[in-house]
Amino acid sequence: MLITVSIIFVLLGIAIKYAKMYFLIAGYNTMSEKKQKQYDVDGVASIFRNAMFGMAFIMILGYFISKWLGNPKIEMFTLFGVILFGLPYLLIVSNSNKYKINKDN
């Protein structure tokens, strides 16, 4: 299961950053065009790519450690740990003012 989720995360990271599927970024596609121009969407896409790749790497690592130690609980702890820490990190960093071009409005 972790390998499947990891592959999905990698594909999402590639789709958002390189295929420019910005509609996958929650809230971005519902913004007005004026508001969209106030954000560095390439920077946000880079954060999404890095976070997705990082979470996928940790999950793959957790999978192999689980198989090596023979403890399937490690897989679930890895999955929940990645989601518990990775998604809030992704949301906090991508919504920071760092990626806002026009900070006055």
Residue spans per domain, the chain: 2-98
pTM: 0.83
- pLDDT tens for 54-69 read 999 999 999 999 999 9
- Whether residue 31 has pLDDT greater than 90: no
| Residue 23 DSSP symbol | G
| Residue 5 DSSP symbol | H
Question: Kind and range of the H or E element at 16?
Answer: helix 2-17
Other Cβ atoms less than 10 A from the Cβ of 44: the count is 23
In terms of pLDDT, which residue wins out, 24 or 89? 89
Task: Find the Cα–Cα–Cα–Cα dihedral 14, 18, 20, 24, rounded to 10°.
Answer: 10
What's the confidence (pLDDT) of residue 27? 80
Question: Kind and range of the H or E element at 4?
Answer: helix 2-17
Query: Mean of the pLDDT values across residues 80-92?
Result: 92
What's the confidence (pLDDT) of residue 101? 81
